[in-house]
Amino acid sequence: MNTVKVILMLASLTGLLILIGYGIGRGKGMVIALILAFLMNIGGYWFSDSIVLRMYNAQPVTGSEAPALYDAVASLSAKAKIPAPKVYVIPNDAPNAFATGRNENHAAVAVTSGILKMLTRDELEGVLAHELSHIKHKDILISTLAATVASAVVLLSRWAVIFGGDEGSTISAIAVAVIAPIAATLIQMAISRSREYEADAGSAGITGRPEALAGALAKLSRAARIKPMSANPATAHLFIVNPLSGGTIMNLFSTHPPLEKRIERLMKMKAGAG
């Protein structure tokens, strides 16, 4: 069901782009904006793993350096039927984790040193399975597509002001420049939240223990409120829990669903399995 929602939301973003592009420059305006947005985002997608890992000073670890973590990633990857990604540890006490990489063969899972100290083995496996699910479902690609179309909408909205023409069309253009980027951002954030729900379900399917991820999320939620992680807002959507605010951002503009709802869904999966 979430996959259908994502397709519909991506279609809505594309429809918004076509509508604005046609209004400003007919087909040419839309195509130019889409090309520019694509060029803006393709570099980030292609080099996403190295960029974000370097940003957080993530250190690669081997099986001898972190045997429990390394073995867990290898075992869960086999269950998920994907190649085992590279494993990294971020020297940060704030507990969190993320996955990155453009595809299954160029992927990495990174966890903070804080999460390794806080979670039980089952809870850590729930978190790792969540991140592997992101890799398996190509969520980095989906996020890049959404960001590309949303960026094109923003570009076209700005052009609408610059090339507004007479007073009446200028006023309309300003209205579009304000409303369209907000609408595009809302859709983009909704896609991100939907992928988090999907990754939670994927974790439950891989481990067979949805309650383990639920327990991890409860701990991470409390820790995020006490000690938010110093993170770049542009990468917030990558983490398993919002690293910036511990859930204080308005739900509509958040990259993550409310943790309470995520935990509730996981416990319903547990009840259903029981």
Distances (CA, A) of 83 to 77, 80, 99, 117: 6, 9, 14, 26
Rounded distance, CA 178 to CA 70, Å? 47
Please check whether residue 49 is in contact with residue 87, taking contact to mean a CB–CB distance below 8 angstroms: no
CA 165 – CA 177 distance, rounded (Å): 14
Separation between Cα atoms, residue 73 and residue 80, nearest integer Å: 10
Task: From residue 108, give the alpha-carbon distance in Å to each of 15, 28, 98, 138, 231.
Answer: 33, 39, 8, 13, 18
Q: Is 131 a catalytic residue?
A: yes
* DSSP element (H, E) containing 88: strand 86-90
Contacts of 163 (CB under 8 A, 6+ apart): 24, 25, 173
- CB of 101 closer than 8 Å to CB of 46: no
- Active-site residue among 123, 125, 131, 196? 131
Q: Which two tokens stand for residue 59?
A: 């250190």
Contact present, 19 and 152 (Cβ < 8 Å): no
- Catalytic residues, by residue number, are 131
